[in-house]
Structure 1
Amino acid sequence: MELNFYEASKFDISRERKYNTSMPTRHYHNGYEIFYLVSGDISYFIEDQSYQVVGGALLIINMNEIHKLVNSSKESFERITLLFQEEFLEDMFPYNDSFHVLSSFASGKHFMPLNGQEQSFIEKLFDKMIAEYNKQPPGYEYYLKTLLFELLIFIYRKSSTLPAADHTGSNPIHKKIFDIVDYLNQNYHETQTIQGISSKFFISPSYFCKTFRENTGFTFTEYLNNVRIKEARRLLTGSTLKIADIAERVGFESMTHFGRIFKDITSLSPLKYRQTYKAELD
């Protein structure tokens, strides 16, 4: 089986929506990689582990670990990939033997499902990094280092909460669950219930809830809310639609419920979010 080595950049970050795309070969590189799936679902292979990854999950890949992405569903997905070498952060490492911010990469805990607030937090960090990297204003490299260090501390702390034997993402692939994920990604704007999904896919509600959590790292409600709020955030900053229309468009029947879930995930009301981030984009 073909295996390729790539020389890692000192620092590189990109955000792309991909269609019908898989990595052509297994590969490895002499840098650290942080992979975040914004939306969609894919399979990811790291060394001898396979992970089913859905939107809102983070993967970390150590130097020289062999990995490959496979898009079995052939549906579109959006991802952020950050690749860096240790030398990029050399002048920021604290001289403390009890703490090394890159130690998470050697822990074997590659897979990290993130709750809504965590997703919102790191997506804001990624957005700032991408803007700095692309525009390169004065002092951008120092700010990139600061943002990356903040992200690495988040990963270090998140990793420390995961049990050593936790391989949530590497459970045997349950095809039906990922058929359901694909269905939710396409139909989040419609009314969706555990009972309705269970009936549609011929699976008992209790087994569905158990296997959905095991395979994705999220409960059904968490995943559905994350997908809906992610689309609402896009519409709030990228359109002039009224907030009530956005709530209805992404699948919420009640403005009150939409506002509560949105604030739970983003820490801002929909109006405040629009005012804050639309201004930044403008």
Structure 2
Amino acid sequence: MLLWEGFHMETNFYEAQNFDISREKKYQSSMPTQHYHNGFEIFYLVAGDVCYFINDKAYQVVGGVMLLIDVDEIHKLVNFSGDTFERITLVFKREFIEGIFPGNHSFDVLSCFLKDRHMLTFSGYEQSFIEKLFDKMISEFTKQPPGYEFYLKTLLFELLIFIYRHLESSQTKAYSEENNIVNRKIFDIVDFLNRNYDKQHTIRDISSRFFISPSYFCKSFRDSTGFTFTEYLNNVRIKEARVLLTQTGMKVADVAEKVGFENLTHFGRVFKEITGLSPLKYRQANRVNPAS
């Protein structure tokens, strides 16, 4: 496990709000120094790749990965590449959800922060589910319609139960945090894929470009990101396709080609595997401006 020697620098404390959530595209952290706060934090990277330090461990975080940060844990985000990344940050205090649900000593939904599993990876379908929950929270938090605080608590509780079950499920593959060593070569590969997802790539091509053996590349990529090469590339492509389908009037075939799929049938199959809907049904359900 790689330790960050510079992590033991000045540390700042921030008073957490009862509940706060934001989704932003950034190229640097709004909190450049290492810090801690008296709230639970859920960090979710929508797109891009960053390095995140929690206590004395370093994590390579790519799109679709979630970090759980307990109360008073020291942490810091570092963007080695300098490229834009999109993240969702949710911070809340225990008292925000206390009282609304009956107490149960045999089940503490916040215990997911105590399981020494900071980093969680999800399937494409799970990512879509989580991002929709976050979008609902952000809408409620921003617009504050009648009863918004109660709905925020309900949505947060739903998310926490999902995380708890994800960690507890026998089907969940145990992801070894010891494998998440900051590997700059893998970071460079991830950054390259994030910027060139619309082009055709093979394991052999990437291995040759970055002077790494195919077998070592496959293992290192999975160990470092939690995803296989194909899983990661498809997730990046489908995330961009979702934006194009909901925010533009492009034909589905043109969207498929623009995000790097040479075959429309293959695009449709991968899109449905990841989102649970066909491209057309996804557009109908999520269109930002149907009149456009």
2:162 is matched with 154
2:85 is the counterpart of 1:65: no
2:34 is the counterpart of 1:26: yes
Q: How far did 1:160 drift?
A: 2.0
Q: Distance in 1 between matches of 2:214 and 2:177?
A: 24
Q: Distance in 2 between matches of 1:78 and 1:21?
A: 11
2:86 is the counterpart of 1:74: no
User: Which amino acid in structure 1 is aligned with residue 220 of structure 2?
Assistant: T
Count of residues in correspondence between the two structures: 281
TM-score by length of structure 1 reads 0.95
1:81-230 residue pairs with structure 2 within 5 A?
81-161=89-169, 166-167=176-177, 171-230=180-239
Three-state SS of the structure 1 residue aligned to 2:58 is strand
Does the 8 Å contact 2:175/2:226 carry over to 1?
no
Three-state SS of the structure 1 residue aligned to 2:287 is helix
Does the 8 Å contact 1:44/1:70 carry over to 2?
yes
Q: Distance in 2 between matches of 1:164 and 1:57?
A: 14
User: Which amino acid in structure 2 is aligned with residue 75 of structure 1?
Assistant: D
Q: How far did 1:49 drift?
A: 1.4
2:50 is matched with 42
Structure 1: state its 5+ residue gaps.
none
2:241 is the counterpart of 1:232: yes
Q: 1:79 to 1:99 in 2, by over 3 A?
A: same
User: Which amino acid in structure 2 is aligned with residue 198 of structure 1?
Assistant: S
User: Which amino acid in structure 1 is aligned with residue 180 of structure 2?
Assistant: N
Q: Distance in 2 between matches of 1:180 and 1:117?
A: 24
Does the 8 Å contact 1:22/1:69 carry over to 2?
no
User: Which amino acid in structure 2 is aligned with residue 167 of structure 1?
Assistant: E
From 252, 263, 266, give the equivalent of 2:261. 252
Structure 2: state its 5+ residue gaps.
1-8
Q: Distance in 2 between matches of 1:278 and 1:234?
A: 9
Q: Residues 164-201 of structure 1: CA distance to partner in whole angstroms, max 9, x if unpaired?
A: 88316x63211111100000000000011111111111
User: Which amino acid in structure 1 is aligned with residue 166 of structure 2?
Assistant: K
Three-state SS of the structure 2 residue aligned to 1:273 is helix
Identity %: 66
RMSD: 1.7
TM-score by length of structure 2 reads 0.92
Q: Distance in 2 between matches of 1:13 and 1:96?
A: 27
